Structure 1
Amino acid sequence: SLEEIDDELTVMIVDARQAVRFTREDGVEARADELLADQTARTATLVGNARVGRGPTTISGGNLKLFDEDRRIEVFGAGRFEHMADDRLVIDATWDIDMSYSDVTGMLDASGNVIATHTPRDGWKDTLQAHRIHAEIESIEESDAIVAVTDDTTAAGDDGTRVAEVTSEPADGPADDATAPTEIATATEADEPDAQPGLELTELGANRRVTAMHATGLVMDLEDGVPASFESTRYEDGTLVRAFRLIGPEIDATESEIRMDHPGRLFVADLRHGDDTQDLGDRRGTALFDWKKDLVIDRVDGVMHMRRQVRMIHNASDGGEDTLLDCEELTAFFTETDEGGELRQVDAKGAVYLATRKDKELRSELVADALRYDAVGRTSTALAHEGRVVTLFDAERGAPFSAEALFWDLNTDRVEIRDPELVSVPR
């Protein structure tokens, strides 16, 4: 429909059907079975096999709606976000219920079996799964738009005939750059070549980055529900060398911290071959953590803290004995390397139980009030509160061994009595 405004005919509504497509001079393209553009409302609706994008980035679904006022896109029903780089799919996200993103607020929400994968290079893959995901995206500087309702948009039918040209200006006057009235984040390959396994907040090109993310599972129960999860894997020559998997009812992440205020599990694996050995069976090991209250990971300092009924199972780097640790409060320290974080030290407090296990059989067991475990050297220093003792039971020794403070080498089973005043253990 047309209206006369300032002695000029202006297109107010465009209704196009059957293999509709429209393009912009800056490369934005959209296709759908039907297009309805409303100049007054400054919206455009794409229905049926709808697809909109610019360059290597596209958003698709059965029903898409673009809002010019707050530079927003909504996808009703199942949809997909894709970004290509170097002729391969780098970012791929799908959802079953809906998705919305506003370039003004930087808020992105998707729900319904959301699965997002990031493959920055061959052998690297990060996967986030949740029932609902909320992300906060920060604009570093102005960028080119992916989709827009207005700005010299041309719609055409399946015969290529021009249907309409729609132009408008923002309510506050002409934009300095008429090519970018509406923007959707453009994702590109990670700029950092040494990005490591872990819950990294993806940078969406040079002008966009995710600063916060909240992922929610379908049911708020770790055992019976469908939890949120993040998994990061690294392969070399087809062999898994590093892995990180975090699961729980909810996952909150910022650039400096990861938090889970619910029971959860974390699996970390460093399966690279040792640099100082030719034995291909020499592995750096795996660690499995679970807890009943909460988890906080300080991403800056490499410190992880978890509380209540905490359990850690650390597999020996040489494939030998497993180390089992139960306590009420655990703090793990990681050392950053060129290849990623390595478990260095664990501090445990409250009803501490430490044991070694070989072929599913317990070898030695220790009970203490506080303990420091050296994950690299597989040694531990245990301390008892005043008036109590540390007790170590070894199946081969038969009788238990007790003292106020003990040093235990888990590799050789060497035990030393220490002065409790000189022991460096969290109390």
Structure 2
Amino acid sequence: MEIDADFDILSFVEGDTHDMVIPGDPLDSIVSNVLSEHDIMDILGEEVLADANPSLNGPLGSKNHLCPVCRRPAGKHLYYGAQVCVSCRGFFRRSVQNNHQTIFQCIGDLNCVVDSTSRKSCKFCRYQKCLDAGMNPAYVLSAAERKVRILQRYRSKSGTTSILPKLKLQQDLAMTFTREEKMYYDNEFKSMIDLTYAKCLEFFVNRLDDFKSYHETLFLGIPLTPEKMKMMMRLDEVTITSYCLQLDDCYELSFHDRMTLIKNNFPALYGLTWAGYGQDSSAYEYYATFLEVIKGKASTDDKYRPLACLAEQLLPSCSAIETNLVDLNEILPPEILRQESKITELNQETRKVREWCNPSGSAIGPDNNIILIFYKIILFGTEFSDRLDDPAKCGAIQDKYLWQLHRYVKTQFGKKSYALLHETAMIPLSIKSISNVLEEAGK
């Protein structure tokens, strides 16, 4: 997916797509059977983005020409009378079509600097530079005129207009989270659970006291000590690291980048895990299944027999799973629980994350697809890009999953999707607050 460099990933997550060029994104027309101007332009490609005067559209031949407005590489054609970049072309067209140029006001002294980094700061001066470069408002067609012109231009080409509805359908499908993708994530979640069982077995096989403490924390609500908190974090570090390293996208990165991403993003991954599954009946059911897995493993390998004997003793206490759920926030070390303001903030942020990852309010727990996709968005975050071999590749992978989350939410939750995507933009702040408290609890 090629996106204009002006693309603001935060706006995209929130659902603001007005300034984006994304092939296959039907925008508002996804709910309409009528081809909009944007549909036709996206389907037919850049060649239809013509000025009103066809004579102004010939290629100029210069591949190194810079946009006279913002100094970014310009396109290969004249757009509305000047050889500008794609972004300034779109800015000029929208300004004229919406008549916004009449209300622009300068934020400075009518001579603001307009370049690739500041061009969004002052729309008045940017528009004036467009005019100075030779762009003519008279060449901008209205939306209706453009639609007629585009269809007339391509009507003469055999079969073009007849396939537009099919292309529009393909375009709508590109916005849909497919059944195959849903099956992929269902299988990935099952694989993650199996991997977690395997790593927990290896972790606890020679740590029987730790296993008993872990069980007592989950089911009896016995508060954690800092040492036990560290033990739980080590266990989750093992399982989360193992899951991350087996992701296909990780194999595209150097070993250094894989480990750097995991090391620096682990606190956020742990915070999401803690909040998403901290009071979830399905998590306890998985734990009860894990006790059965231990017994099955012991039947083929004697080294697991002591762990299986302990699991046999603990299994009856799982019978009250539905009525004795322990909220993990309530069993943090006493030193943390005594800090009322910190616990209040922790509970508030945890509640936000839990409601966000369970938008349907399901009694069976969070939406695992949301959590799995967001895991990847967190994992491939590059706030520490100076420590990575290939931050651009990591960022591209993260963008892929941001787009995937966008499609999943829009497909799954319809009208609720915009509010949910807006919440998504704020969730990293909640997760950071949670991970900060957990890190302190383990000290």
TM-score using structure 1 length: 0.22
Q: Which has the higher strand share?
A: 1
Structure of greater relative contact order (alpha carbons < 8 Å, 6+ residues apart): 2
Q: Which has the higher helix share?
A: 2
TM-score using structure 2 length: 0.21
